Chain A
Amino acid sequence: MPRHKLIASESDGKDNEFSLYYVEVEENSQGGQEKQTTRDGKRRRERNGEVSRRRASEKRTTEVDTKRAEKKHEKRHKTARKEGEKHEKRQRRKNADEEEAEEESNKEKKNIKNERTKTLRRDDEKEKDVKKKRKKHVKNEEDNANSGKTKQKDCHDMPLKEKKKKRKKPETTSESESKSESDSAPESKDNQAVGVLGSLTPEELEKLKEAVDERKKLIATMRGKPWPMKKKLVVLRSSCVLQRQETLLIISFLYYSNCQKWMKFQRDFENFKTACIPWEMKIKEIESHFGSSVASYFIFLRWMYGINMILFGLTFGLVMVPEALMGKPYGSIPRKTVPREEEASAMNFAILWDFGGYAKYSVLFYGYYNSQRAIGWLKFRLPLSYFLVGVGTVAYSYMVVIRTMARNANEEGGGDDTSFNFSWKTFTSWDYLIGNPETADNKFASITTSFKEAIVEEQESRKDDNIHLTRFLRVLANFLVLCCLAGSGYLIYFVVRRSQKFALLGLENYGWWERNEVNMVMSLLGMFCPMLFDVISTLENYHPRVALQWQLGRIFALFLGNLYTFIIALMDAIQLKRAEEEIVKKNMTIWQANLYNGTVPDNSTAPPITVHPADIPRGPCWETMVGQEFVRLIISDTMTTYITLLIGDFLRAVLVRFLNNCWCWDLEYGFPSYSEFDVSGNVLGLIFNQGMIWMGAFYAPCLPALNLLRLHVSMYLQCWAVMCCNVPQERVFKASGSNNFYMAMLLVILFLSTLPAIYTIVSIPPSFDCGPFSGKTRMFDVIQETLESDFPAWFGKMFSYASNPGLVLPFLLLLVLAIYYLQSTSKTYKRVNMELKKKLQTQNEENKKKNKLAALKAANELEQARKAGEQRSSSSQHTQNSEPPVSSTHTTTRPPASRGHTSSGHLPGHPQQPQKNSHSNRR
């Protein structure tokens, strides 16, 4: 681009703004229209001649012909004008700028009217350059009017860059002008003194600052323009008084320091925020390699971790710590002491591992807590706190689960705009900030996975098989699964009944199998039924996500049997313990009587005999037993999970990997291969585990802590296992909505697990000698007690009024009504939402269609215009050659074009065009 070079070198020499501006403009006029200027005058003459000639010919023809010709003429002009409209606008803008320039340079003001009349004669006293400009402009307009071929040629001939420059120039120059207006004072002073930097007074410096501000604006607008930097520099330099280095300084300053710090800070803050989300990076990595279904399990795990954190905080902060700090110390009372007969083995690891011995008599379990109403200097109401925490954890869990479900449903209802799903994935999925090879690998994997997910969705939506066959197969599959479930349910029932019978007769008389029958049956069922379900589900041919949900639901139903047996066994155990307790109570009075009987004769006034708390007989404390059962269950469950993980996944992967070298078939792709991540099994394990926690947390305050530990470890362990020894599923699918399914199952489990807990709290009296509620007939009496002794009398009275059935029942009714109302409104909203969405979709499609039609029409018009232009040029040629055949050329050139239109461009809603076509067809 030698011209640019010229400018650049010139600009170095001339710092005067005006001269630069003119150079720019000059360049403009030379660049764009150079070729035309030579032909300019000639064409003008030609055109004038043509018009006059045509007029003459038109006069000669008949009326119809005249009309037609006029119409044609008009049309031609119209199309030409349309095409040139933009151009003209530009020109007009340029005119305005020119005027400004003139004003600014104290030249004669130009008349707008004058400008618009497009007269060719120009005031000769104008400056030379201005004249040049105007000339160009006039010629341009003429070009516009002149239509077709020349113009198109003009457009094509003009180098792209020039075209663009012409378009953009006016804005920037106008800005530069406005800027220079503000700068006019120093300029006028320094006009001759070219070195602006030479000497600067404070005022000038101020002015310069202003100028810099203006320039900032200019740069901001310029930044949005798709020009090469070279051109930006030229423009910038031309509009700046400063030297080259300074323009560069400004550019670099603006680009790299002004907002960059803030942006960088924001970005860092975002990064920090992501880094604060626990395990976000791990989960993202897994998601990128294994798809969102596997990631959904980990997200669920993390969510569960959060819930357990809260539960742990509640129990630890409000129950365990106060008791440990302010309650009576270990060994002070019987319930806080290991009994004499257990003392010898209380520290054995096996016993401790089983949560017996010292572990049993500690804050970890219900039995350790004292029934003293207020403890410590804080007068902490421990029994009350214990009860409220128990209720609070359950209430909080309900709240959180339901809230999360509602939020997820919201997200689903809102839905993401999938109108550009694939194109967005193609064009915007790469993150240009990635610079780390590992991250890049992950990104590649995640993009591939997301594409695969989308492809699966698309294929599923396209699939249309034999609907009757699939339906039949699905019914069959469900029937089979139901049979399976019923069979296993009966088996469980049968086994449990049998074991109850055995228990009544005494387990000692039976062998190992009879004793462990229930457990064995349960684990065998748990092992084989899911496999069976998996096989059956291949019949159904569902979308993998739906299949996963079905699978989850079925295994869930199976596991409910597990829960049932467990609860039955627990209830039986409680009954046994309570029977034992009755006996102990009786023995207790006998023992006390014996104690006093033996000592009273010595000295009746002596202080009561102090018996070491370890020696005092005590009840079996069924609450602690229940807590222990739950803790053991959790521990064994955790162990099983980890061991299956290590053996089933890790060992298998190691074997496959290393035996593959010396094996007769391909182990990696053949039979054993690597394992896939079992989403359904893991999710169910997690859910049932949480159910256990909710059930047992009341009797073993340590359960949330244990669970927290378990979740923490399994997060790391499973993340590692997935990344190192699993392979992605064959069909990676998008897990949208799966999370809510998990939540729904969790809610069911929560409900099921709170039922027995509430039952035990409400209907079974607490043990007489252990736990915070000892000595009360029911556990919830603690509320009554608090109301009576800690609150003023009127409050208790009010409470008793409020709790009478006459008030509670209407209140419940009101609640039910409110729920009904809210539910129905939400349903209506949902329906409206769906309808609106549908409407929007159809609207979109319609718009698309309309756009397509419009594009077609535009293409037609363009063609028409081109044809017209061709015809025009040919006609002008003809008119030059000979006058008479004008009409004949019209007839020869016109019809083919219009026929083409009728075939392709018959548009509804555009009646003019068919009319036109019929016109030309008739010809």
Chain B
Amino acid sequence: MRSDSQGDLRRTLSYFFLHCSLHGRYHELAPHLVPMDYTNDPDVKIPLALIVNMPELKENPFRNRIVESFSEDGQGNLSFNDFVDMFSVLSEMAPRELKAIFAFKIYVHSFRGYFNVDNYICNEDLEKTLNKLTKEELTPEEVNLVCEKAIEEADLDGDNKLSFADFENMISRAPDFLR
């Protein structure tokens, strides 16, 4: 009797937690798409356009990239698992290394699917990043200069593109990167 009630309590608690925090948010994004009951693992995905409008991402210049890099299909459709994934990485509790990996994913614009060390940040990625960051207020020459300098600074192996090792090395020393 006692244990039963405990189990019940726990179960209700778990639902409470889930529904209060993340799943609630997930459900809110598309109430007509997402069921509240997840016992049967329905295959539900929310399209990019809806997720991008979350207050956390709304003002972020990289919002599309963020969502894309977390989605399993690379198109920006997030299942609930992807959604939780995104939150866990963007949370302030996530360790630096993890953040670095996902930051790399975000900055490599051609990136789709899972993490792969064979990806590189190339000049075009940098240009896109810059234009997003500055709302395209820099002239093309300035953008070129910045890209050139950035690659020159961070590129350790001289291939004119940033591998993950370069990126990690650079970003792990940044003062702004998670203090």
Our pick among B90, B133, B154, B173 for the contact of A430 (Cβ within 8 Å) is B133
- Which residues of A lie under 8 Å from residue B90 when comparing CB positions? 432
- Which residues of A lie under 8 Å from residue B156 when comparing CB positions? 848, 851-852, 855
- Which residues of B lie under 8 Å from residue A439 when comparing CB positions? 59
B102 within 8 A of A: yes
Our pick among A161, A263, A425, A851 for the contact of B93 (Cβ within 8 Å) is A263
- Which residues of A lie under 8 Å from residue B129 when comparing CB positions? 426-427
Provide the B116-158 mask, 1 if CB < 8 A to any CB of A, else 0. Answer: 1000000000100110011101100010011001110110111
- Could you list 27 examples of A-B contacts with CB < 8 Å? A8-B41, A160-B115, A160-B116, A200-B6, A223-B88, A224-B95, A226-B98, A228-B72, A229-B85, A229-B88, A245-B11, A251-B84, A252-B14, A253-B17, A255-B87, A263-B92, A420-B154, A422-B150, A423-B170, A426-B130, A427-B103, A427-B170, A455-B142, A458-B145, A458-B149, A459-B145, A855-B159
A417 within 8 A of B: yes
B53 within 8 A of A: no
Inter-chain pairs besides A197-B10, A267-B92, A856-B158, 9 sampled, C-beta below 8 Å = A160-B115, A226-B101, A229-B85, A233-B81, A245-B15, A417-B173, A452-B138, A452-B142, A458-B149
Among residues 238 to 295 in chain A, which have CB atoms less than 8 Å away from a CB atom of chain B?
245-246, 248-249, 251-253, 255-256, 259-260, 263, 267
A428 within 8 A of B: yes
Q: Are the CB atoms of B114 and A161 closer together than 8 Å?
A: yes
A197 to B3, CA, bound (A): 8
B-binding residues in A (CB < 8 A):
5, 8, 160-161, 164, 197-200, 223-226, 228-230, 233, 245-246, 248-249, 251-253, 255-256, 259-260, 263, 267, 416-417, 419-430, 432, 434-437, 439-440, 444, 447-448, 451-452, 454-455, 458-459, 848, 851-852, 854-856
- Which residues of B lie under 8 Å from residue A852 when comparing CB positions? 156-158
Instruction: Count how many pairs of residues, one from A and one from B, have CB atoms less than 8 Å apart in the complex.
Output: 178
**Given A249-B10, A426-B146, residue A256 in contact with residue B21 (CB < 8 A):** yes
Q: Are the CB atoms of B82 and A228 closer together than 8 Å?
A: yes
A451 to B42, CA, bound (A): 47
B62 within 8 A of A: yes
A444 to B131, CA, bound (A): 11
Q: Are the CB atoms of A423 and B142 closer together than 8 Å?
A: no
A435 to B55, CA, bound (A): 6
- Which residues of B lie under 8 Å from residue A420 when comparing CB positions? 153-154, 170, 173-174
Among residues 49 to 68 in chain B, which have CB atoms less than 8 Å away from a CB atom of chain A?
55-56, 58-62
Among residues 4 to 32 in chain B, which have CB atoms less than 8 Å away from a CB atom of chain A?
6-7, 10-11, 13-15, 17-18, 21-22
- Which residues of B lie under 8 Å from residue A458 when comparing CB positions? 145, 149
A161 to B11, CA, bound (A): 32
Q: Are the CB atoms of A455 and B146 closer together than 8 Å?
A: yes
A429 to B149, CA, bound (A): 16
A222 CB, min distance to chain B CBs, angstroms? 10
Q: Are the CB atoms of B157 and A429 closer together than 8 Å?
A: no
Q: Are the CB atoms of A224 and B114 closer together than 8 Å?
A: no
**Given A417-B173, A427-B103, A448-B135, residue A855 in contact with residue B157 (CB < 8 A):** yes
Which secondary structure dominates where chain A touches chain B? helix
Q: Are the CB atoms of B85 and A228 closer together than 8 Å?
A: yes
- Which residues of A lie under 8 Å from residue B173 when comparing CB positions? 417, 420
A161 to B142, CA, bound (A): 40
A621 to B171, CA, bound (A): 68
Which secondary structure dominates where chain B touches chain A? helix
A89 CB, min distance to chain B CBs, angstroms? 18
- Which residues of B lie under 8 Å from residue A233 when comparing CB positions? 81
**Given A228-B85, A423-B150, A427-B107, residue A451 in contact with residue B174 (CB < 8 A):** no
A123 CB, min distance to chain B CBs, angstroms? 38
B37 within 8 A of A: no
Q: Are the CB atoms of A451 and B22 closer together than 8 Å?
A: no
Our pick among A228, A249, A855 for the contact of B158 (Cβ within 8 Å) is A855
**Given A224-B97, A245-B10, residue A455 in contact with residue B171 (CB < 8 A):** no
B100 CB, min distance to chain A CBs, angstroms? 10
Q: Are the CB atoms of A422 and B153 closer together than 8 Å?
A: yes
- Which residues of A lie under 8 Å from residue B176 when comparing CB positions? 424, 428-429
Closest residue to B146 on the A side, CB-wise? A422
- Which residues of B lie under 8 Å from residue A267 when comparing CB positions? 92
A256 CB, min distance to chain B CBs, angstroms? 5
A417 to B172, CA, bound (A): 13
A432 to B61, CA, bound (A): 10
Closest residue to B138 on the A side, CB-wise? A451
**Given A440-B59, A455-B146, residue A424 in contact with residue B133 (CB < 8 A):** no
A882 CB, min distance to chain B CBs, angstroms? 38
A406 CB, min distance to chain B CBs, angstroms? 23
Closest residue to B72 on the A side, CB-wise? A228
Among all A-B residue pairs, the 4 with the closest Cβ atoms: A855-B157, A440-B59, A249-B14, A229-B85
Q: Are the CB atoms of B88 and A255 closer together than 8 Å?
A: yes
A429 to B13, CA, bound (A): 40
A689 CB, min distance to chain B CBs, angstroms? 36
Q: Are the CB atoms of A245 and B159 closer together than 8 Å?
A: no
Closest residue to B84 on the A side, CB-wise? A229
Q: Are the CB atoms of B103 and A259 closer together than 8 Å?
A: no
- Which residues of B lie under 8 Å from residue A454 when comparing CB positions? 146
B94 within 8 A of A: yes
- Which residues of B lie under 8 Å from residue A197 when comparing CB positions? 3, 7, 10
